[in-house]
Amino acid sequence: MIFRNREDAGKKLARKIKEVLKREALEDAIVLALPRGGLPIGAAIRDEFQIPMDAFLVRKIGAPGYAELAMGALAMGGAMIVNEEVFRMFNPSEEVVEHLIKTAENELKYQNTKYRKGRAMPEVKDKVIILVDDGLATGATMRAAIAGLKKMGPKKIIVAVPVAATDTLKKVQKEADQVICLFSTDAFSSVGQWYEDFSQVTDEETEQLLHPSEE
């Protein structure tokens, strides 16, 4: 299954959610999207069900010298997930690990200021959370997000993604209350391979997706 772009994937995922979930299940729901790639996905779901959406901030902890390879991830609230396989591969020193974590913490603070503009994050306690991204590769950021959200006491965490690596999907299914995924496969090298257009979401697009009423 190939998606034209994130908007296309989001609309198809919204239709699947509509098939799987009863309308009553969404009465107390909030969409939380992982920036930046998850924002167009979340916006499509928000627009379909007319429910609130916001960003849930997670920072990938890249491997030394290979920033795009997730050695772990740090979420809002301090929850951290370690990708044990990648960690063993690089076996970084304690000093390097501390530096990477501190860098991730600083980036989370910066993103929080940038995306929220002083607004508080929506109250998630006793709410149904639809947690979305544009796909699951290693799953480190999604798993960190789940761990972070669990500390906040939601009623239910539903992970919704267009595509996922099969092994990663199995891990996430153990940690979330429910997972809705359009397509999973073992033949998975990157999320971008499943999109015709996988352009980076720009600052302007991010602003419009998060604050459409301010446009």
Residues 138-156 pLDDT 10s: 899 999 999 999 999 999 9
Q: What is the pTM of this model?
A: 0.90
- Residue 147, CA distances (Å) to 56, 63, 79, 105, 144 in order: 12, 21, 6, 16, 5
CB 1 within 8 A of CB 182: yes
Percent of the chain at pLDDT > 70 equals 99
CB 40 within 8 A of CB 34: no
CB 133 within 8 A of CB 33: yes
Residue 165, SS3 per DSSP: strand
* Angstrom distance (rounded) from CA 134 to CA 5: 10
Angle between helices 166-175 and 140-150 (to 10 degrees): 0
Residue-range domains of the chain with CATH: 6-59+116-214 (3.40.50.2020)
Between 105-109, 119-123, 206-210, the lowest mean confidence (pLDDT) is in: 119-123
